[in-house]
């Protein structure tokens, strides 16, 4: 009889723990910051954060005196994603705190009750390609900016780099230095940085032409290097006169006059309508904080403002992350997958307790529209402003951008594009280099990163 009661109690316990381990964890991952009690900190050893291939991005080490130390083997390279604990908390360390401090297995929980030892917390496997992430971080040395690399066929985020950065292990000791650094090393530029899109916005203007001008194929413009609107001069890059332009060459060479004039001819509503159609200004249900891209253009705006907006100036602001998502939708025939950074929750031995399946976020454009843009983006890399990327053993599509940020400062440099390998869309890469336009820095960076990713160096 007593044996039966014992079995029944054990069974109840297993069911109860099973509920914690499976059902509640889903809710915890989905929910925001989960505050921890002192008691829990004393009982559970915080789990690790891992790269896609199982390398430690954050783990708990035990010092000689028995105290726990949080280690970040990749230091500043992934700091904005992994985050830190110690001086408040940020990034995945903050958002997944509840998961990392949750007992990882029933046995671990039972053992801890039987002994004085700490329970192992769950680990989290991310989608980050840490080799790529580290390489990109090194390449950004000396620049301020951000790079986003994603897999459009699934929504996986492979790299999310912001520079300047900080060493999460030194967050307590260096706190004053870090927060007083006027470059803003704690700022996650990839997801939070709002920048004028420059000519990458011509993706939206070209799509607006396709959707609003039945004769877009015949639309032409004679570029003399500058477009005069409302007594304002809109110049082409390097004061270049492009000559007779139709949409394909205008996009490949990034002719401001062509797109400025097309914007005026279409009118403000076509631009605003298309930006809204491709979900510019929508937030993606992403685990890390993001700023929302914005576009301001209305009926009351004069033609010069419409022209400026059409060529990516005006008052439009986008994040590198949002630009990456737009590019991913083009790469994926109009279908945008939900971007995700956490692949699985595992026990301390790597056994998967819960994993994430790719899901569709939404259809952002039709397949013919995506094909139309893909054709234009091919011209950019074949013979246009990113022709440096023409000699790859796979196809590269893209758009460059130069975004003016004032009279005194050098403009920002953009590249956003994707690769197709063996007939299948592979990765999307978006690069923003602050004040990097003088040397058109984004394209050589794209070249270096793609060469590294494909092992061509
Ligand atoms: Zn031009």
pTM for the structure as a whole = 0.91
In a domain, 13, yes or no: no
Q: Quick one: pLDDT at residue 406?
A: 81
What is residue 19's predicted lDDT score, i.e. its pLDDT? 44
User: Measuring CA to CA, how many Å separate 119 from each of 34, 71, 190, 253, 351?
Assistant: 18, 18, 35, 60, 16
Q: How far, CA to CA in Å, does 37 sit from each of 110, 312, 334? A: 20, 49, 45
Q: Token digits for 342?
A: 């956490």
Whether a cis peptide bond, with omega within 30° of 0, leads into 164 is yes
Dist. CA 450–CA 277, nearest whole Å = 30
**How far, in Å, is the centroid of ligand 1 from the Cα of 199?**
12
Kindly state whether residue 404 falls inside one of the protein's structural domains: yes
> What distance in angstroms lies between residue 52's CA and the mean position of ligand 1's atoms?
44
What is the per-residue burial (b if ≥16 Cβ within 10 Å, else e) of 352-361? ebeebeeeeb
The model's confidence at residue 26, banded by pLDDT at 50, 70 and 90, is very low
Rounded distance between C-alpha atoms, residue 89 and residue 100, angstroms: 13
Query: What value, to the nearest 5°, has the Cα angle with vertex 61 and ends 55 and 62?
Result: 160
Q: What pLDDT is recorded for position 21? A: 44
Residue 12 lies in a domain: no
For residue 440, the enclosing domain spans 139-169+177-340+356-453
The set of residues, in sequence order, having a beta carbon less than 8 Å from that of 113 and lying 6+ positions away, is none
| 127-183 residue pLDDT tens | 999 999 999 999 999 999 999 999 999 999 999 999 999 999 999 999 999 999 999
What tokens were used for 341?
């950074």
What SS3 state is found at 212? helix
Three-state secondary structure call for residue 430: strand
- If you measure from the C-alpha of residue 221 to the centroid of ligand 1, how many angstroms do you get, rounded to a whole number? 9
423 domain residue, yes or no: yes
Does 58 map to a domain? no
28 pLDDT higher than 60: no
DSSP 271-304: HHHHHHHTTTTPPP--SS--PPPB----TTS-HH
For 399-457, write each residue's pLDDT tens digit.
999 988 887 888 999 999 999 999 999 999 999 999 987 767 999 999 999 999 999 97
- Statement: residue 52 has pLDDT above 70: yes
State the chain's mean pLDDT as an integer. Answer: 90
* Across 38-47, average pLDDT: 79
The two structure tokens encoding residue 149 = 């690399």
**24 CA → ligand 1 middle, Å:** 58
In a domain, 393, yes or no: yes
Tell me, what's the pLDDT at 25? 37
User: What is the whole-number distance in angstroms between the Cα of residue 224 and the centre of ligand 1?
Assistant: 7
Residue 108 lies in a domain: no
Q: Domain tally for the chain?
A: 1
For residue 434, how far is its CA from the centre of ligand 1 (angstroms)? 24
Q: Span 195-212, mean pLDDT?
A: 97
Backbone conformation region of residue 350, classed left if phi is above 0, alpha if psi is from -120 to 50, else beta: left
CA of 405 to the centre of ligand 1 (A): 20
Å from CA of 245 to ligand 1 middle: 8
Q: Is residue 67 part of a domain?
A: no
Phi, psi of 61 (to 5 degrees): -110, 155
Cα(253) to ligand 1 centroid in Å equals 8
Q: State the Cα–Cα distance between residues 124 and 347, nearest whole angstrom.
A: 9
Q: What is the CATH number of the domain that holds 255?
A: 3.40.710.10
CA 310 / ligand 1 centre spacing (Å): 14
Q: Residue with structure tokens 């459009």?
A: 152
What are the residues whose beta carbon lies below 5 Å from ligand 1 (ion)? 223, 236, 242, 255, 257
* Distance in Å, CA 236 to ligand 1 centroid: 5
Q: How many angstroms separate the alpha carbon of residue 228 from the centre of ligand 1? A: 12
Mean pLDDT of 93-99: 94
Expressed in angstroms and rounded, the spacing between residue 396 Cα and the centre of ligand 1 is 24
């Amino acid at each position: 009889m007593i044996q039966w009661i014992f079995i029944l109690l054990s069974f109840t316990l297993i069911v109860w723990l099973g509920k914690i381990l499976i059902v509640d964890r889903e809710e915890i991952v989905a929910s925001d910051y989960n505050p921890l009690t002192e008691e829990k900190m004393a009982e559970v050893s915080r789990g690790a954060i891992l790269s896609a291939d199982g390398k430690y991005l954050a783990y708990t080490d035990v010092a000689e005196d028995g105290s726990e130390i949080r280690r970040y083997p990749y230091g500043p390279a992934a700091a904005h994603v992994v985050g830190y604990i110690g001086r408040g908390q940020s990034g995945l360390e903050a958002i997944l705190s509840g998961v990392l401090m949750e007992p990882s297995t029933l046995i671990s929980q039972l053992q801890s009750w039987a002994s004085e030892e700490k329970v192992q917390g769950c680990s989290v496997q991310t989608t980050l390609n840490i080799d790529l992430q580290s390489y990109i971080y090194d390449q950004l040395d000396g620049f301020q900016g951000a790079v986003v690399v994603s897999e459009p066929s699934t929504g996986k985020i492979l790299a999310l780099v912001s520079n300047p950065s900080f060493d999460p292990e030194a967050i307590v000791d260096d706190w004053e230095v870090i927060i007083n650094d006027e470059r803003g090393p704690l700022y996650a530029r990839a997801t939070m940085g709002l920048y004028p899109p420059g000519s990458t916005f011509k993706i939206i203007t070209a799509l607006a032409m396709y959707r609003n001008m039945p004769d877009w194929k015949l639309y032409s413009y004679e570029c003399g290097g500058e477009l005069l609107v409302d007594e304002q001069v809109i110049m082409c890059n390097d004061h270049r006169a492009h000559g007779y332009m139709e949409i394909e060459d205008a996009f490949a060479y990034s002719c401001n006059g062509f797109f400025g004039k097309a914007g005026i001819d279409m009118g403000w509503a076509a631009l605003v309508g298309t930006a809204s159609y491709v979900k510019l200004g929508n937030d993606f249900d992403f685990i890390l904080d993001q700023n929302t891209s914005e576009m301001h253009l209305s009926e009351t705006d004069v033609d010069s403002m419409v022209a400026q907006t059409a060529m990516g100036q005006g008052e439009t602001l986008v994040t590198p992350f949002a630009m990456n998502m737009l590019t991913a939708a083009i790469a994926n025939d109009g279908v945008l997958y939900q971007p995700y950074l956490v692949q699985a929750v595992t026990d301390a031995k790597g056994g998967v307790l819960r994993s994430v399946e790719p899901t569709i976020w939404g259809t952002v454009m039709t397949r013919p529209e995506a094909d139309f843009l893909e054709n234009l983006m091919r011209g950019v890399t074949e013979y246009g402003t990113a022709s440096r990327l023409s000699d790859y053993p796979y196809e590269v599509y893209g758009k460059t951008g130069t975004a003016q940020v004032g009279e005194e400062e050098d403009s920002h440099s953009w590249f956003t594009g994707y690769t197709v390998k063996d007939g299948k869309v592979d990765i999307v890469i978006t690069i923003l280099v602050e004040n990097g336009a003088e040397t058109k820095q984004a394209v050589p960076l794209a070249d270096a990163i793609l060469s590294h990713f494909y092992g061509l160096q």
